[in-house]
Chain A
Amino acid sequence: MTTPKPPVQAEVLRIAALARLVLSDAEAEAMTPELAEILAHVAKLEEVDVTGVEATAHAVGFATPLRDDVSRPGLDLERALANAPERIGDGFGVPKILE
């Protein structure tokens, strides 16, 4: 398969929104050609024949280790909430979720 065309500015903004990032016009304008240049370099990988090659997710392959299912102490409530931008009682406060 061939590498897709690099994204235009509107697409960069759409992708950023998927990542929950809002970019200013200046940021999007600067980023669009930078991404195009990087993706043009990355297109080199098209030259490589990867037929029948398995993917590597981790280089040193260990099976996910299992431990006994016993409860043990974790981070206590006060320390877990100490960095919260907003605390409500014993929980994290968040802005309105449903309009």
Chain B
Amino acid sequence: MMQEIDLHGVFIPTFGVLALAAFMALAALRRLLHAVGFYRLVWHPPLFNLALYTCLLGALVMLARGVPR
């Protein structure tokens, strides 16, 4: 995986971009789960959100660099 992305001369770490993408995905997913009413089943929503974010970010990192064997 490339360490940094070149944006017109400004180098942005790939991890930062992935973190941002995971955050966007989380926001979308959260809205969806809210609409479905999933959060009524969750004991502590902030904790659930944090875990979900970690999963999303991990998945994105894996996709970007390939699943390690």
Indicate whether A and B interact: no
B residues apposed to A, CB below 8 Å: none
A residues apposed to B, CB below 8 Å: none
